């Protein structure tokens, strides 16, 4: 029974996604619109690798939250299956759109690196701060998929990205709710929260993107990419971020974790949007 079915049977609307992979018409992929699109290929295959590996980071988090049945039940019963389903849908899309790419072999190599890097050491020691940091990750995925939906020249991929993005926003709301639950006991101040957000913001890109690019490149070109090729790939993606990334949405989601109201929130948003532009355009 997957997360969606479980939630329906438990009568808990709002916990789980309202869509199913069978709703995605993979037969209707417009290969003409897709064309020869190496960046779209990198984005979709890279996202499929990270999402389908969800069991590693969910297991760490479930252990971290032991003792809170409500949180553990959502993480294991809804969040993990939904993240894995995102990976499966993106994988199935990649297999149809780019049938010559050896997805499984590339994923197996990616997985070996990724699993070794996913250790419990990366979690925040405080449960409240870990939940806040998770809001950064879900903000990152929610806005990434919104960007992908806006950018995709291929309608089926646009639809997939829209549906996954909606799931990620819902995940964000759960983590924010759990952050408030834990912080009601821990009482972490804004400075500690900002530091946790910054730490996770810095970590998101380092491992995931590099490992994905490394193994995609190896299985496409038969050799590891150089640092210059990695920089060149990021340089090609920058204009897409510039045109399609929802910076305002990302800033609002992050600031909501800090529970700022009124003028300070607007001022912080005005500062954060250009700061994020600079950070993501590196
Ligand atoms: Fe996801
Ligand atoms: Fe998510």
Higher local confidence (pLDDT), 197 or 201 = 197
pLDDT at residue 120 in the model: 56
Q: Which residues contact 175 (CB under 8 A, 6 or more apart)?
A: 131, 132, 134, 135, 138
Beta-carbon count within 10 A of 163 CB? 20
pLDDT band with cut points at 50, 70 and 90 for residue 279: low
Q: Which residues surround ligand 1, an ion (CB under 5 A)?
A: 51, 83, 86
**Does residue 15 have a pLDDT over 80?**
no
Model pLDDT for residues 109-127, shown as the tens digit of each residue: 999 988 887 665 678 989 9
**Does residue 267 have a pLDDT over 80?**
no
**Does residue 2 have a pLDDT over 60?**
no
**Contact between residue 4 and residue 17 where contact means Cβ atoms under 8 Å apart:** yes
| Residue 88: both structure tokens together | 């499966």
Q: How far is the CA of 171 from the centre of ligand 1 (A)?
A: 9
Q: How far is the CA of 115 from the centre of ligand 2 (A)?
A: 18
For residues 72-76, give the mean pLDDT. 93
pLDDT band with cut points at 50, 70 and 90 for residue 60: confident
Q: How far apart are CA 6 and CA 16, in angstroms?
A: 9
- Which residue intervals of the chain are DSSP H helices? 3-10, 31-34, 38-52, 54-64, 69-74, 80-97, 103-117, 127-151, 155-186, 190-221, 227-244, 247-257, 262-280
Higher local confidence (pLDDT), 57 or 71 = 71
Higher local confidence (pLDDT), 259 or 136 = 136
**Contact between residue 233 and residue 42 where contact means Cβ atoms under 8 Å apart:** yes
pTM of the model: 0.88
Q: Which residues contact 170 (CB under 8 A, 6 or more apart)?
A: 14, 17
Q: Where along the chain do its domains lie?
A: 31-280
Q: How far is the CA of 136 from the centre of ligand 1 (A)?
A: 13
Q: Helix, strand, or coil here: 48?
A: helix
pLDDT at residue 275 in the model: 67
Higher local confidence (pLDDT), 35 or 276 = 35
pLDDT at residue 70 in the model: 92
| Residue 50: both structure tokens together | 């990270």
Percent of the chain with pLDDT over 70: 86
Q: What is the DSSP letter of 189?
A: -
Q: What is the DSSP letter of 28?
A: G
CATH class of residue range 31-280: mainly alpha
Lowest mean pLDDT among 36-50, 196-210, 233-247: 196-210
Q: How far is the CA of 27 from the centre of ligand 1 (A)?
A: 23
| Residue 174: both structure tokens together | 């759960």
pLDDT at residue 117 in the model: 77
Q: How far apart are CA 7 and CA 120, in angstroms?
A: 28
pLDDT at residue 10 in the model: 36
């Amino acid at each position: 029974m997957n997360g969606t079915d479980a939630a329906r049977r438990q009568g808990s609307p709002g916990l789980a996604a309202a869509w199913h992979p069978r709703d995605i018409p993979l037969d209707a992929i417009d290969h003409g619109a897709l064309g020869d699109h190496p960046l779209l290929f990198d984005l979709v295959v890279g996202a499929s690798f990270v999402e389908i590996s969800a069991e590693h980071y969910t297991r760490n988090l479930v252990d971290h939250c032991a003792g809170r049945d409500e949180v553990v039940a959502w993480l294991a019963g809804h969040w993990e299956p939904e993240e894995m389903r995102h990976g499966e849908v993106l994988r199935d899309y990649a297999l149809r759109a780019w049938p010559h790419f050896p997805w499984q072999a590339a994923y197996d190599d990616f997985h070996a690196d990724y699993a070794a890097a996913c250790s419990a050491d990366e979690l925040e020691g405080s449960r409240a701060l870990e939940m806040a940091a998770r809001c950064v990750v879900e903000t990152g995925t929610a806005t990434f998929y919104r960007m992908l939906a806006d950018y995709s020249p291929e309608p089926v991929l646009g639809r997939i990205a829209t549906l996954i993005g909606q799931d990620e926003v819902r995940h964000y709301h759960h983590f924010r709710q759990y952050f408030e639950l834990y912080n009601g006991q821990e009482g972490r101040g804004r400075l500690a929260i900002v530091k946790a957000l910054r730490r996770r913001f810095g970590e998101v890109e380092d491992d995931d993107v590099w490992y994905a690019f490394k193994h995609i490149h190896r299985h496409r070109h038969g050799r590891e990419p150089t640092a210059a090729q990695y920089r060149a790939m990021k340089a090609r993606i920058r204009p897409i971020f510039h045109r399609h990334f929802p910076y305002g949405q990302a800033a609002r989601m992050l600031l909501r974790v800090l529970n700022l109201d009124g003028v300070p929130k607007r001022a912080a948003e005005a500062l954060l949007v250009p700061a994020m532009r600079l950070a993501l355009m590196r």
